[in-house]
Amino acid sequence: MQDAPLTTGRRRSPLVSRRDALRYATAASALAGLGATAAGAGIPTASAAGPTLIDYAMRQIPAQDIRAAGHSGVINYVSTSRPGSSFGAKPITLPYAQSLTAAGLVIVSNYQYGKPGGTAPSDFTRGFAGGVADARTAWHLHTAAGGGRSAPIFFSVDDDIDRTTWNNVALQWFRGINSVLGVQRTGIYAGVNPCQWAVADGVIGRSSSPGHVWAWQTRSWSRGQIYPAAVLYQRVIDTASNPGPVVGGIRVDVNDVLASDCGQWNLHP
């Protein structure tokens, strides 16, 4: 996700294959729920395939710029900046959230404080107690900004981990999160494998869109695969070598909406 300076160089996997892209386009064309909501509220859709949400951390992007770029909303942070950094969009604030909502844009919550090689370790390495602490912080910031009481928060596994690391490290962190928020309000941001492991181990909740769970899948570490149960897919990832599109003067990541209920606040009061 886009929570690093523009010079960051995280390892990324190749673009999805043409076959998977076509498979996604077919699925996305059925996003009647969010599409209808967008049409009814005057929210632009980014493409014929379906709505898109952007994520970013450098600073708050004015709502009118997001609308003008053709996006339906945002995935914003309910976490603070790491030591030594000062991201203007972390955490989302009540006035900013109100400006987005007033413009007819939807909001989804994400938590990420640490990162690999950063000034704070990856959040998923912090164990059960760390999960408890992170969930409490996320929920406080989410609700302070006006986030829905039944809305999920997506917690980040921003690294290429194997099953052993999942079982022995990340899973314990998610269990801690669950102990505070409950499974139904817990989501995951990760590559394709951790998204599936989170479902198998019962640590993330389910969307009201049939067949979908609170999985925000990144293209990174997914080897061209798209998890059919995911609600969001991070298709465009801003890096120094592959810049993302510019919205409101900064580069952003772009996420395809795969389900009409992707955890947006307005559906989860």
**What percent of the chain lies above the pLDDT cut of 70?**
82
Q: How many CB atoms lie within 10 A of CB 88?
A: 13
Candidate from 13-27, 85-99, 129-143, 154-168 with smallest mean pLDDT: 13-27
Name the band, by pLDDT with cuts 50, 70 and 90, for residue 204.
Answer: very high
Domain of residue 28: give its range: 18-260
Classify residue 218: in a domain, yes or no: yes
Classify residue 53: in a domain, yes or no: yes
**What digits encode the pLDDT tens for the residues 86-95?**
999 999 999 9
Classify residue 9: in a domain, yes or no: no
Classify residue 184: in a domain, yes or no: yes
Residue 182: its pLDDT value, please? Answer: 98
Which candidate, 47, 67, 158, places its Cα nearest to that of 112? Answer: 158
Name the band, by pLDDT with cuts 50, 70 and 90, for residue 242.
Answer: very high
Distance (Å, whole) CA 252 – CA 254 = 6
**Is residue 78 a contact partner of residue 109, using CB atoms and an 8 Å limit?**
yes
Q: Is the pLDDT of residue 22 over 50?
A: no
Classify residue 267: in a domain, yes or no: no
Classify residue 137: in a domain, yes or no: yes
Classify residue 2: in a domain, yes or no: no
Name the band, by pLDDT with cuts 50, 70 and 90, for residue 36.
Answer: very low
Burial status of residue 234 (CB atoms within 10 A of its CB: 0-12, 13-18, 19 or more):
buried
Domain count, the chain: 1
**Mean pLDDT across the chain:** 87
Name the band, by pLDDT with cuts 50, 70 and 90, for residue 264.
Answer: very high
Name the band, by pLDDT with cuts 50, 70 and 90, for residue 26.
Answer: very low
Q: Is the pLDDT of residue 162 over 80?
A: yes
Residue 34: its pLDDT value, please? Answer: 61
Any idea what the CATH number is for the domain that residue 34 is in? 3.20.20.80
The predicted model gives 185-204 an average pLDDT of 98
Classify residue 239: in a domain, yes or no: yes
- Amino acid at the residue 25: A
Structure-block tokens of residue 197: 């492991």
Residue 50: its pLDDT value, please? Answer: 86
Residue 181: its pLDDT value, please? Answer: 98
**What digits encode the pLDDT tens for the residues 69-118?**
999 999 999 999 999 999 999 999 999 999 999 999 999 999 999 999 99
Q: Is the pLDDT of residue 8 over 50?
A: no
* In the block, residue with structure tokens 């490290």: 169
Helices 171-181 and 127-144, interaxial angle, to 10°? 40
Distance (Å, whole) CA 264 – CA 97 = 12
More confident call, 12 vs 132: 132
Residue 7: its pLDDT value, please? Answer: 28
More confident call, 178 vs 23: 178
CB burial string 189-215: b at 16+ within 10 A, e below: bbbbbbbbbbbeeebbbbbebeebbbb
Distance (Å, whole) CA 19 – CA 17 = 5
Residue 89: its pLDDT value, please? Answer: 97
Q: Is the pLDDT of residue 42 over 60?
A: no
Distance (Å, whole) CA 171 – CA 213 = 17
The predicted model gives 198-213 an average pLDDT of 98
